[in-house]
Structure 1
Amino acid sequence: MGMVSQEAIKQLEVLMEEVEQPLKTTFQNVHNGYLAETLVRFLKAREWNVTKAHKMLVDCLNWRVQNEIDNILAKPILPTNFYRAVRDSQLLGVSGYSREGLPVFAIGAGLSTYDKASVHYYVQSHIQINEYRDRVLLPSASKKYGRPITTCVKVLDMTGLKLSALNQIKLLTLITTIDDLNYPEKTNTYYIVNVPYIFSACWKVVKPLLQERTRKKVQVLQGCGRDELLKIMDYASLPHFCKREGSGSSRNSESGSENCFSLDHPFHQQLYNYIKQQSLICEPVEPIKQGSFHVDVPEPPADRTELAKTIQSEFNKFGNANRLSDSLDGLRINGA
């Protein structure tokens, strides 16, 4: 890291020493003892501009305080059967760790429907997984490997991606906005697998619109990506949809203990039990309340809004082309 970078870190650290309570407390929950690494994340997100990184970080801390994010891991989604429905429609889990100790997050981007609960539950669930990653998984991995581990890798399965994904654009924009503004630079690499034509066509248009920093993180792999992923992780850590070429992703493709999306998978069992335990510690007298934990979502940045519009436009073009093709096929059949 160069002298300019070190100086930027020092400047931002001095600025952060001046924040008052309760921002100081929530900042401790954000950096978890890895102060320099956290400052670097926000500096990278703002192209090493100290003033902009400071504003971003303070805005993040204010968002955390205003929305009680420090307490979100004590707010279980109840009842369990309802949470299972959330998990079955928001396909996300941890399949293992890379050889460098980074958690491997598996995401069923193509088959997630987000249709079993309100937006608030999906946002709550997403933030809880973020917080569990940052407060439990990453500190544990850092201790195990004897060095700071502050990022993860993500494997996105595009199996089943359809035009109906347009219905999810608004929710996905909310979630990515939360991540961009409050959990920047937490993903080391995005691996995209089981890519259908609709994604390939859209990716050609979207890729140039991404920031160079983001583009470098994205790797679109052939097929299920197994061979490439085995270069960075053991077979046991592969998401279930990467273990067999052509197997694709399915909510029922493996048993609960193998399917990392399932509530029966060890990761989700540990996460859910942790949240229930935290709720008993924080609220030992009052009964646990049911209902979603509402979180204010900041307005998405202009580039994020434009990106969403571009994706929607490309999907619509693809749909119109398909409908035109179907109409022509119908004319040919009728005219035969």
Structure 2
Amino acid sequence: MARNGGGGGDAGEGEWLKVAELRAMAESQDPHAKEVDNLTLRRFLRARDQNVEKASAMLVKAIRWRKEAVPGGSVPEESVRRDLADDKVFMGGVDRTGRPILLAFPAKHFSAKRDMPQFKSYVVYLLDSICARIPRGQEKFVCIVDLKGWGYSNCDIRAYIAAIEIMQNYYPERLGKALMIHVPYMFMKAWKMIYPFIDNVTRDKFVFVDDKNLQEVLHQEIDDSQIPDTLGGKLAPISLKNNARSLTA
């Protein structure tokens, strides 16, 4: 469970005391909690509004989920190759605060060809990939969800809910903001079905951007050199399937 650390908001002495309390409680429930770093503990604490008991229950559940879902510690690329081949997700640059950007294209996802266990592994793979890019001094990433071309064949409520639940339950306080762009009217019907499954903390992070305000919002959030070229910027995003190679090149 230990992940790339970083800042993400100053913590006062009182919060660090709660982190220590959370560690003690979690370790008494699952010895594997000893492997979790303090910044991760703090994220779980913040995800549960500083309630140590609730944060401990959430953390222990996440530890046990991780051991079952990712027994080897990481998702092998070959196990998610089919989803990677669809080029649904790209790695972008960083926003003005230094948070790495994930660029998603839901119109490249088709419900008819989705295999749920493989899709869940793919979600873990992409979340681990973007979290690995979070620099020291940050704890969150930004997601641009480009819904251009999205239609009924792409609508997959079960998959969307599964992805959101994995993110909010097992990667708490990692998403900084999700910019929803080029949103077709019909998507809002799907969103009404997804919305109840999103917790209150995460809901506020989804921002729907009108097409007429898109460039203004992008330039407020991101320097032109870091805006994806698909959105009029200067940066060529890296496909998730090529991400591991780009990090080792």
Query: Do Structure 1 and Structure 2 share a fold, with TM-score over 0.5?
Result: yes
Which TM-score tier does this pair reach, normalised by the shorter chain? 0.7 to 0.9
* Residues 113 and 208 of structure 1, relative CA distance in 2, 3 Å threshold: closer
- The Cα of 1:258 is off from its aligned counterpart by 3.2
**Structure 1 residues 71-92: Cα deviation after superposition (integer angstroms, max 9, x where no partner):** 325x2317xxx82x42243611
Pairs within 5 Å for 1:1-336: 5-18=15-28, 21-25=31-35, 27=36, 31=37, 35=38, 37-73=39-75, 75-77=76-78, 83=81, 85-89=82-86, 91-113=88-110, 118-134=115-131, 136-138=132-134, 141-142=135-136, 147=137, 149-166=138-155, 168-200=156-188, 203=191, 211-223=199-211, 225-243=214-232, 258=236, 260-261=238-239, 263=241, 267=243, 269-270=245-246
Q: Give yes or no for contact 1:89–1:114 (8 Å, CA) kept in 2.
A: no
Q: Give yes or no for contact 2:30–2:60 (8 Å, CA) kept in 1.
A: no
Q: Which amino acid aligns with 2:139?
A: T
- The Cα of 1:225 is off from its aligned counterpart by 2.2
- The Cα of 1:188 is off from its aligned counterpart by 0.6
- The Cα of 1:221 is off from its aligned counterpart by 1.2
**Bigger-Rg structure (1/2):** 1
* Residues 61 and 195 of structure 1, relative CA distance in 2, 3 Å threshold: same
- The Cα of 1:128 is off from its aligned counterpart by 1.9
- The Cα of 1:198 is off from its aligned counterpart by 1.6
- The Cα of 1:7 is off from its aligned counterpart by 4.5
Structure-1-length-normalised TM-score: 0.60
Point out where structure 2 has 5 or more consecutive residues left out of the alignment: 1-10
Q: Which runs of 4+ in 1 moved over 6 A?
A: none
**Structure 1 residues 94-137: Cα deviation after superposition (integer angstroms, max 9, x where no partner):** 11111221110011123322655633333222212222333x31
Aligned residues: 237
Q: Give yes or no for contact 1:95–1:106 (8 Å, CA) kept in 2.
A: yes
SS in 2 for 1:219: strand
Structure-2-length-normalised TM-score: 0.78
Alignment identity in percent? 20
Root-mean-square deviation (CA), in Å?
3.3
Point out where structure 1 has 5 or more consecutive residues left out of the alignment: 245-256, 275-336
* Residues 235 and 16 of structure 1, relative CA distance in 2, 3 Å threshold: same
